[in-house]
Structure 1
């Protein structure tokens, strides 16, 4: 490990570290525009110049200079100061004075560093150049005259997203960043280039001219658009969430977020349920809470009561629903809305045991019935990192573009019982083998996949390579709370009273009994219900979610729900009193204590410990995987379907619709 001095401070850094990293280890701030910790080194902005001895008597780019023993680095000498001021002067010669109207204002690296390292004036007297705007799709707005050619967006698209659709054309002063043929960028991670852009060249198109960062309140919470559990910060003003940005969590999402995570938020204020409804004469009509509760109390159910949890439900809601169903004499609970039915006697057998961060260590990967790019995009980026380290990837299922090289073995599930010899050989020589079972194969291939654990050597003393990919934020929490009925959701169809806890993906025609829908959007569930009770969206309540790897995480309330909508658990508590079976909690802390007593693993945030005791299941896998569960990445739930931005992404990026834009 190299030892060197930075401004007289001795530091020791790992082999291969750069001088810039050594300076940061010494507590020195080094300005930069092109350098980013998660991207390859470009060394083209030159803002990170430092003086290094021994070496040539000139400033050197610290981001591209390897740290070495006995180096002396100086970050505050007159040479460095003059060099940085000169670089800043060059970067600003063509930059427009757009700060008053730029959406990057207040969060702009160029603003901050020009104040800290810039001169008071410019010696540039020639005409400034201008660059025409480029089209990059519904998510990214471009003002390319502001671009300083740091190439972060290009490197992200190639290295992380795996979609080589952003690049540079021309040379020198005429260089321009653009998308391929100025078409929309097709990556589901394209919004991350807005965070990466150190100037205002790439900004968020849906957020344009909406608000300034200092006007908004920031609330840490958990994203519910998929089962990854992306850590996000919701930015709100008044009673509206204006944007969702990722928080750094190395174990989950690093610092990335999908476009759906970022831009579904405009759906939080559209098509909202803000009052109870009761079906009368075949039509839903507005009602008071008392009238809605009375309609439910009038149902003669005789203990035939069930509950279905939706994909976005938090653990508190599901626990309260479980408690109410039990109090009314029922026991049937289900969270797998679309008819999935698999053994849940061992939670480890339906968990992502490798962990999301652990995927990077895998050296042989078998994907079975999963389109990771849509089902868990931020797990897919980890697979890309594993491939860069030498991992081989095999897949069973219909061929699709996962953004990396895959050897497709076919779409027949029978392959699980007869894998080709070279696949067995690859796994035999692997130190960290991994199998990923997706929703398209979980119902018919779970047993066969479990039988591969020993032949493929998936379990080692410090490694569990058996993984199941869930797509719903509520799924693992629901399984921990008992929302898995033998026979799946079909076993609930004859219930006389069914509570749908935000469940919108159900085939409601199969339910002949009385249907009570608790939800926040006027979507499929509300249209089919006999009584609609308006609830809070995930952004409007504090809740607990468990992601696909069994990680318990808590989110906080950012804004209050609209109109008469209330938090789900409080509605169920009030309803229980009307039904004569009051639940034993009157507050959120009281509910959580009862929930922790029932499921201790939910008490402490972090990875829940599931004992590896897989069931012995009979039956050979058979059948051909015709397609993957997610047909439209951008419209997977009620909030996304209510979002104009997600509707536009779906129409343009998936269905090829040409959307006209007005000239500005």
Structure 2
């Protein structure tokens, strides 16, 4: 696949300028305001100052973006240099002496602020950036007490770039952070600058919305109020909000987030920095789907009476479920774990179903082979999320990371921009924001790589750090085990894939609750709930379509989706912003959410519902509080009680995972095996986003953009299966 040329603004990143992190980098000594500091050779002065604990003001500079050097706010003096230099664009030299505070620098900063404010509107009372605005803060600290410009301020027309980002371009100071992010990190290249001098503007080259799944990050990057969140416009001021650190569950990465709430309502969700997981980026679904938390919610227990779901008390609903569970033979009892189920409720449900005499525990997937759950290396992301940046050959099998994990897709762009990795895809040809060889669309293309003579096949076998990413959804279909078996055969032909130093076999989960379910002992498939007579759906919606009409169905969850419509009894649980719960991301990292807002109506924590049900069923569980439950979790899987700890996988264990994958092969796919991504619509993939009006608008926008693209801008390679 070939893409249009990248923006010139990407050149600094591709060259690695000022951002060297090689272990062999030489360190040199420089002096910042007389203080000696050791920094890597090639670092910028502004980076050396940060290491020395000295803050230099900036607008255009950002440590994760290429260098622009156009705001001039970071000017410093260098000893023996007649002119001041932009500290973001000037590399350090051995023995360099830098002055960051002087009368000359103070005057220069005041001049820069005066120019920036000359055309800036007096919007602070109505600007959503107020209270968090870099321009406000720096004008107070570094600006003068008056300006000398009396001319009329420049006005710029606002741009419509979609339902997520609101533009007020009169406030723009042309720092180009948004342009560099869209070009370098997101990779869609829609933003740029037009005009020169006083006529310079930032916008899309043609009138169209942004098509990136990471577009909301330009709101955080904007140092003024030119780009703000459209869904939360004029909703609150920052000082009115209560902030809670938590973890995102909209995909399986477990991105670090901060939930800002006022009272019982979530006002916004923004990313937190976690270099090991999401750096400081966040997908648009995770950022903007929060309005779905207050729509289509289940707030009271419901019992089906005469074909209709009617409100009931907790006691009546639990007693009914308990009686039906006791009356059902153990062989006919099954439980299905949904995509957003937390580890506490998964352990409690497993204990309850086991106490009832059944072992039929599965995950919410179509009737398929499922992932092997015996060895953790067979269903986790072995190389770690940060480790993908070290790969030199990457093969994507039956996955579209841009839809399934857009932040991971941005990480994959790093070795692409650096020119250190080649990419291949087996599955649908799609715009992944980086060039790749489309190896094929059938399973035979994976086997062809073992002995094939294509350029990518040779590169994969010769790579020192090859990476194979398999979409977990590939195994969640009839015959899906054949995909895993083909990958296992490929692993045997690429020795560098599994070594003591490198685990390049990665399964990309697409659901936040999936890894924990497999850790706890749920089968990787649906546990064939279609033949059970008592089915407990823990937030599971897809499985509802395959249940027996005679089955007694219990649905426990927080949204009235497909599972609730098929249920005989509905028990209202809590969403991730309303509880403190444990999740395990796709790489096996244990993380915990924290309660940010109160539970709506009569909804209760999920594990407490199951604990109360166990009493009604005459099968009381042996824990009454979270501490005791987590002690039980430690017995089931010790890793579940070690938050933010990622246990390394040895090469021997990784090979056991490959062996488990190989055992799943050989089943008949009926000629219908698909290698497409299981997520067809990024914006509508879970009950929260499906209830979100904002995501509905974004989904319609994305479909409109796709419909306008008459001919795809891709070119297939000559190598195919």
Q: Shorter-chain TM-score: what band?
A: over 0.9
Q: Within 1, Cα distance between the matches of 2:382 and 2:246?
A: 24
- Map of 2:697 onto structure 1: 648
Q: Does 1:329 align with 2:357?
A: yes
- Map of 1:302 onto structure 2: 329
Root-mean-square deviation (CA, aligned residues, Å) is 1.6
Shift of 1:345: 2.1
37-46 vs 476-485, which moves further: 476-485
Matches within 5 A, 1:109-148: 109-148=134-173
Which of 318, 324, 335 in structure 1 is aligned with 2:346?
A: 318
Q: Does 1:347 align with 2:376?
A: yes
Q: Within 2, Cα distance between the matches of 1:648 and 1:148?
A: 29
Q: Is the 8 A contact 2:334 2:527 kept in 1?
A: no
Q: Is the 8 A contact 1:18 1:66 kept in 2?
A: yes
Q: Does 1:80 align with 2:105?
A: yes
Q: Within 2, Cα distance between the matches of 1:600 and 1:297?
A: 30
Q: Within 1, Cα distance between the matches of 2:544 and 2:414?
A: 39
Q: Does 1:497 align with 2:534?
A: yes
Shift of 1:513: 1.2
Shift of 1:657: 10
Which of 449, 459, 470 in structure 1 is aligned with 2:498?
A: 459
Q: Is the 8 A contact 2:473 2:510 kept in 1?
A: no
Shift of 1:526: 0.9
Which of 610, 622, 627 in structure 1 is aligned with 2:676?
A: 627
Q: Is the 8 A contact 1:552 1:608 kept in 2?
A: no
Deviations 1:590-617 (A, max 9, x none): 1111111221111112113453223252
- Map of 1:662 onto structure 2: none
Shift of 1:418: 1.8
Shift of 1:429: 2.8
- Map of 1:2 onto structure 2: 28
Q: Within 2, Cα distance between the matches of 1:239 and 1:285?
A: 26
- Structure 1 gaps, min length 5: 659-664
Which of 620, 624, 628 in structure 2 is aligned with 1:586?
A: 624
Shift of 1:159: 0.2
- Map of 1:25 onto structure 2: 51
| Secondary structure of 1:13's aligned partner | strand
Which of 432, 438, 446 in structure 2 is aligned with 1:408?
A: 438
Q: Is the 8 A contact 2:423 2:456 kept in 1?
A: no
Q: Is the 8 A contact 2:258 2:269 kept in 1?
A: yes
Q: Is the 8 A contact 1:6 1:26 kept in 2?
A: yes
- Map of 1:433 onto structure 2: 466
| Secondary structure of 1:634's aligned partner | helix
Which of 640, 643, 655 in structure 2 is aligned with 1:602?
A: 640
Deviations 1:198-255 (A, max 9, x none): 0000000001001111111111111110001111010011001111111100000000
Q: Is the 8 A contact 1:307 1:334 kept in 2?
A: yes
Q: Is the 8 A contact 1:601 1:609 kept in 2?
A: no
Q: Within 1, Cα distance between the matches of 2:228 and 2:351?
A: 46
Q: Does 1:564 align with 2:602?
A: yes
Shift of 1:547: 0.5
Q: Within 2, Cα distance between the matches of 1:382 and 1:98?
A: 36
- Map of 1:529 onto structure 2: 567
Q: Within 1, Cα distance between the matches of 2:527 and 2:53?
A: 60
- Map of 1:547 onto structure 2: 585
Q: Within 1, Cα distance between the matches of 2:461 and 2:176?
A: 41
Q: Is the 8 A contact 1:277 1:532 kept in 2?
A: yes
TM-score w.r.t. the length of structure 2 is: 0.89
| Secondary structure of 1:284's aligned partner | strand
Q: Does 1:638 align with 2:687?
A: yes
- Map of 2:293 onto structure 1: 268
Deviations 1:339-362 (A, max 9, x none): 342322222022110000000000
Which of 354, 359, 378 in structure 1 is aligned with 2:388?
A: 359
Q: How many residues align?
A: 655
Shift of 1:578: 1.1
Q: Does 1:170 align with 2:170?
A: no
Q: Within 2, Cα distance between the matches of 1:560 and 1:161?
A: 35
- Map of 1:418 onto structure 2: 448
Q: Does 1:474 align with 2:474?
A: no
- Map of 1:55 onto structure 2: 81
- Structure 2 gaps, min length 5: 1-26, 708-721
Q: Within 2, Cα distance between the matches of 1:399 and 1:549?
A: 26
423-432 vs 595-604, which moves further: 423-432
| Secondary structure of 2:339's aligned partner | coil
Q: Within 1, Cα distance between the matches of 2:460 and 2:577?
A: 43
Q: Does 1:250 align with 2:278?
A: no
| Secondary structure of 2:468's aligned partner | strand
Q: Within 1, Cα distance between the matches of 2:684 and 2:437?
A: 29
Matches within 5 A, 1:100-115: 100-115=125-140
Q: Within 2, Cα distance between the matches of 1:160 and 1:657?
A: 21
Q: Within 2, Cα distance between the matches of 1:430 and 1:75?
A: 46
625-634 vs 524-533, which moves further: 625-634
- Map of 1:506 onto structure 2: 543
Q: Within 1, Cα distance between the matches of 2:543 and 2:193?
A: 47
- Map of 2:94 onto structure 1: 69
Which of 572, 575, 600 in structure 1 is aligned with 2:613?
A: 575
Which of 236, 255, 259 in structure 2 is aligned with 1:234?
A: 259
Q: Is the 8 A contact 2:361 2:527 kept in 1?
A: no
| Secondary structure of 2:228's aligned partner | strand
Q: Within 2, Cα distance between the matches of 1:558 and 1:84?
A: 41
- Map of 2:6 onto structure 1: none
Shift of 1:374: 0.4
Shift of 1:490: 5.6
TM-score w.r.t. the length of structure 1 is: 0.96
Shift of 1:296: 1.1
- Map of 1:377 onto structure 2: 406
Q: Within 2, Cα distance between the matches of 1:295 and 1:656?
A: 49
Shift of 1:492: 2.0
Shift of 1:625: 3.3
Q: Is the 8 A contact 2:422 2:456 kept in 1?
A: no
- Map of 1:388 onto structure 2: 417
| Secondary structure of 1:451's aligned partner | helix
- Map of 1:212 onto structure 2: 237
Q: Is the 8 A contact 1:519 1:533 kept in 2?
A: yes
Shift of 1:439: 3.6
Q: Is the 8 A contact 1:477 1:546 kept in 2?
A: yes
Q: Within 2, Cα distance between the matches of 1:536 and 1:516?
A: 16
Shift of 1:507: 3.9
